[in-house]
Chains A and B, each alone.
Chain A
Amino acid sequence: MIEILLVFAAAIALGWPLGLYLARVMRGDASRLDVVFDPLERLAYRALGTDPRRGMSWKGYARAFVVSNVVLGALVWLQFMTQAWLPLNPDGAPNMRWDLALHTMVSFLTNTNQQHYSGQAQLSYLSQMVGIVGLQVITPMMGLAMVVATLRGLFGGRDAQARHADGERAPTQVPIERDLGNYWVDLTRATLRFMLPLCLVWSVLLTSQGVPATLERGPTVTPIDASAELKQQHIPLGPVAPMVAVKQLGTNGGGWYGPNSAMPLENPTPFSNALEVLAIVLIPVAVTFMAGRFVRRRRFAALVFGSMLLMSVASTGLGVWSEGHSASAHDIALMEGKEVRFGADASALWATLTTQTSNGSVDAMHDSLAPLTGGIAIVDMLVNAIWGGIGCGLMQFLVYLLLAVFLAGLMTGRTPELFGRKIEAPEVRLLALLILLQPIVVLGFTAIALSFPSITANSNPGFHGVSQVFYEYVSAFANNGSGFEGLGDGTYWWNLSCTLVLILGRYPALIVPLAIAGQMARKKVAPESAGTLHVETPTFALTLVAVIVILTVLQFMPALVLGPVAEHLSLAVS
């Protein structure tokens, strides 16, 4: 219990200053660190061929985002399929089959880190260090860039507040109200000034706890546990610590080893465990504080942080309760798949935090969670905005915000507006698209996979089997990446269907809100008055949370009832 409170307290205490710093970075404010970073950035801009002063419309910004993804994706895909012939492969990992390589690439490109492979056996050091870690560093910053551009749009375009005081703009500028910033600049600054330094700190701390960081081939040893009947065992090592640092910090979740942070080499000590749990929520919490400072509205940060904290505490509390005290929690079978070092509470804490943040790293197999805890994890991912992935969490929150403002705005007797800008039919059409996409994709694929058990290779029939399949697609769509496991998921069906779900879960969710913001930026702003619905109030925050909960529950209640709830009821009865 104390551990849980400590994690929340530390995340808030560190996330706050970090968020304010991040806001300065994203606003492009001058800083003492410019001496170090300016030359590096200039180099990057020259290489990318972009004029950092030049802004982009939402379309230009989205185009740059897609281009960067296609290029990176192609390179990494190629690397995975040819890794056996490339250097830094001391353990001799073979080339990946095209479908597995495709799924792995898309999974990391979408900041999901769903793994249908076991890292220590199937990836070379080079693939891990360049392909995997490279994407793990850059993709969360892509999400951050997209949400920052969206915030600019919702508040009238870049530097809307400083409209008249700006003499430095390049003459060929897009008009201010269409200028959502420069994608390449946002991405470069966020990566260099924020993500990399933070990862460096974390990986040094983890190395100090004994997480491996080497380029040498791992040793071969004789196990002391004779009952395992192994004469010789190869211990896979590698540059593990940096990857663990970035997978925890960057809402990534894809570990070096198959069992992820349940594996002692990824998570050796209580302190490393604390570091890793903290890292799961640190940046997502920081992003909420960034949002307020970035748009120069402290109360906006309070709205985002407050609503998310409320949902987070509720989800974590329910998870810990259900894991330790619910009627189905004491089934002995549930301890299989859990790390005895952590036990029920710490496993539940990690499980709920990792699904709240779209992280997906695990320190216990979610397959073995109590049924209701598994259900809570699924709900966390369906909402996908209780902190949420870096950037994408806030983005999804903005979608809910627009939706809630539309309903609540009507109830205050005005046509709905957010920050003075009207939400009208074109915006609602785009919102409707996003609302529809999730059930179509998740329920659609779940229904198909469950109708053909021969291709799903389910290890469990019955309700648990429903949960497994549902979880896999929910996790893929939420770009979470944690797995219920127990699925034979290295097949064409799983690789290809999940690839599609990953793409559908990532790109519309980032691009559609940006498009909405692009449209809203050009609208007339109505000044605020007593008749304006102030969203930064407890009344509205509760309305917003109610809209989120009701919407999710309504859409997925039947699936949840047939999976986790039915399993819980059957265990509780027996």
Chain B
Amino acid sequence: MTDLPLHLGAARRHPAGGLDAAGLRAAIAESFRKLAPRQAMRSPVMAVVLLGTLLSALITIAASADKAFGIAVTATLFVTVLFANFAEAVAEARGRGQAASLRAARRDLVGRRLDDAGNETRVAASELRAGDRVLVSAGEFVPADGEIERGVATINEAAVTGESAPVLREAGTDRSGVIGGTKVLSDEIVVRVSAEPGGSFLDRMIALVEGANRQKTPNEIALTMLLAAMTLTFLVVCVTLPFLAGFVGVKLDPLLLIALLVCLIPTTIGGLLPAIGIAGMNRALKANVLAKSGKAVEVAGDVDVLLLDKTGTITHGDRQATAFHPLGGIDREQLRDAALLSSLADPTPEGKSIVRLARELRSRVEDPQQATFVSFSAQTRMSGVDVGARSIRKGASDAIARHVRALGGVVSPELDARVEQVARGGATPLVVADGKHVLGVIELSDVVKHGVKERFARLREMGIRTVMITGDNPLTAAAIAAEAGVDDFIAEARPEDKLARIRAEQAAGHLIAMVGDGTNDAPALAQADVGVAMNSGTQAAKEAGNMVDLDNDPAKLLAVVEVGKQQLITRGALTTFSLANDVSKYFAILPAMFAAALPSMASLNVMRLASPNSAVLSALVFNALIIPALIPLALKGVRFKPASAVALLRRNMLVYGLGGVLLPFVGIKAIDLLLAAIGV
């Protein structure tokens, strides 16, 4: 096991429907297995077709005068059921392909468990329990899900994400989570196991991908109900028809009635519905987002407010110190050195960039002895260092002002002017204080990502509002918000602000999606309608969200929304198509039914089909063939271009509604010509 397969990437390499020969054979075998009554009863539409097949077989054997025709009808009906099963099997098979390679990543993992005294024991991964601590060194696989307790390491997560570029994981940060089956490339870490065997991320992922216990989504249930009602309706139509016809002296062939019934009931959507659902989750997975349920994907299509952290989503997130602005009476070196001291032990990128800037400006301050680093907390919104009696703090301007006043110092009005000047430029001002004296402002600049503005404009077209969350002060936030084109922002946000905002938006009827990674994001992720946790994030965040983004790309939310919408559109479009098809099938079958007894009905045969038998067969064959023909569409989803709802409706009604009425006229006629040519 030197190199793990890029299994999710594998799915990416094959476009929709792509299965190799072996996969195809397996799917075909599975289509037959799904004929078992318990499986078949899951879809009311296809259950009726299956019953129709049996009935038509019985009639052909027992009564039919025209055996060849009876056999042809029965065979076509049977193939219709198989095609529907095949659609579901193909969708499942693609998921299973992904699961198989995931399993490869799970097997044979061994971990070095540490006891309280720090002694190592080699144990199989299956024996590790939550709370155990394991040591993992460079070149080894992480044996189980957990969080890094000590150390920092680069890790190859290709086994899970398909992305081979190594990622950095570090204790005590929001990127402390590691996943079982991934490979440590450098350094050594101590991991506290967080999942029981069988309950790991990988295990759950395999179960989801296989769709083993796939639940129907709420909308799918509603649609199934509607399709069942339509099926029953057409059953009533076909059962009563012989009595109406009997009154005018026409005796109807039961085979034709079965054919009419199967043509009328919505077999196309009935056969493809499960595949659409499975494919939706697979498409999310292809975008490297693991949805914990189909429902989450469905809800994503409905989201109308996106809460986005500024950092990493809208801006590149590595805010860099670019300048020191001392207040009047303070010399530049004094500010530079104080800023450097306060940041020497600061692990954040900002802290490191301050050190770097100060060194570039030739600061020669040595690492002090006896220094206590005060780390940043969301409550104080300051960090700093205590060296002997000296206490240096840096942080947001209001936090520092409060801190200085609390110590009895004064905050000169000049500070506000400096802060505002920096903020207005879209940069983040960080104020430095030495004891009760304010020294000046560090300017941290952040860069808005390329193309973000266009993306938000597209979202706005779809009726989705974006809200940026940032810890910056209102001025900085406003400048970045304007540059990025977000609709709204929350400045100086604390974790509880996110939660409050989500609740407020929900109370106004909105559906909210948000992205988060830190433990303090967990409540907000749980509260949001769609919570996407970063895979690199803490275990708590991953538990709270209903999706996990394997790529740690906060902008992934946009892809998730599109997958959700696409899934709903595909369902609606194929339902419309399926029902619209019925019009032409009536024109094929009704004249054929009455042709012998009522010659005047021939004028309804607008397609000029060759004979009653070939008319019925053509309609049935079309009805069967349209299922496999639409499998790629069901798996890939209807093309989705962000536009207003009315524009989408217009386009889809024209393509699938009007197209659904017209296409079968052409299709049935073509099949009829073909049948006539081969002499049926």
Contacts and interface: CB of A to CB of B under 8 A. Distances in A.
Interface of A: 406-416, 420, 423-425, 427-429, 431-433, 435-436, 439-440, 443-444, 446-448, 450-451, 453, 461-463, 465-466, 470, 524-527, 529-534, 537, 539-540, 542-543, 546, 550, 553-559, 561-562, 565-566, 569-570, 572-573
A451 B233 CA distance: 21
A534 to B, nearest CB: 6
Contacts of B565: 413-414
A534 B646 contact: yes
A407 B264 CA distance: 18
B571 interface: yes
A535 to B, nearest CB: 10
Given A411-B656, A554-B583, A530 B462 contact: yes
A414 B301 contact: yes
* 4 shortest interchain CB distances as A-B pairs: A531-B463, A410-B572, A413-B565, A529-B463
A131 B226 CA distance: 41
A558 B590 CA distance: 7
Contact of B463 (A532, A546, A557, A569): A532
Contacts of B207: none
Contacts of B573: 410-411
Interface in B204-253: 218-219, 221-223, 225-226, 228-230, 232-234, 236-237, 239-241, 243-248
B650 interface: yes
A429 B460 CA distance: 34
Given A428-B222, A569-B600, A450 B247 contact: yes
B236 A444 contact: yes
Contacts of A425: 218, 221-222, 225
Contacts of B575: 407, 410
Interface string B387-403: 00000000000000000
A49 to B, nearest CB: 39
Nearest to A570: B600
A406 B248 contact: no
Contacts of B232: 436
Contact of A450 (B239, B243, B598, B650): B243
A555 B598 contact: no
A525 B511 CA distance: 11
A557 B569 contact: no
Given A412-B645, A432-B226, A440 B236 contact: yes
Nearest to A462: B248
B236 A439 contact: yes
B650 A539 contact: yes
B465 interface: yes
Given A407-B572, A432-B226, A533 B645 contact: yes
Contacts of A525: 509
Given A411-B649, A414-B565, A425-B225, A531 B233 contact: no
Contacts of B465: 529
A420 B508 CA distance: 11
Contacts of B652: 411-412
Q: Name the prevailing secondary structure of the A interface residues.
A: helix
A573 B600 contact: yes
Contacts of A410: 219, 223, 568-569, 571-573, 575
Contacts of B463: 529-532
B32 interface: no
A128 B639 CA distance: 63
B243 A448 contact: yes
B383 interface: no
A432 B225 contact: yes
Contacts of A413: 301, 462, 564-566, 568-569, 640, 645, 648
28 contacts: A408-B572, A410-B223, A410-B572, A411-B649, A411-B652, A412-B569, A412-B649, A413-B564, A414-B302, A429-B225, A439-B237, A443-B236, A462-B248, A526-B304, A526-B511, A529-B304, A530-B460, A533-B646, A534-B645, A543-B649, A546-B653, A550-B579, A554-B583, A557-B586, A559-B240, A559-B244, A569-B600, A572-B600
A443 B74 CA distance: 28
Contacts of A573: 600
Given A531-B644, A532-B463, 14 more contacts: A406-B222, A408-B572, A411-B572, A412-B649, A420-B509, A425-B225, A446-B240, A447-B243, A470-B244, A530-B462, A530-B463, A534-B646, A554-B234, A554-B586
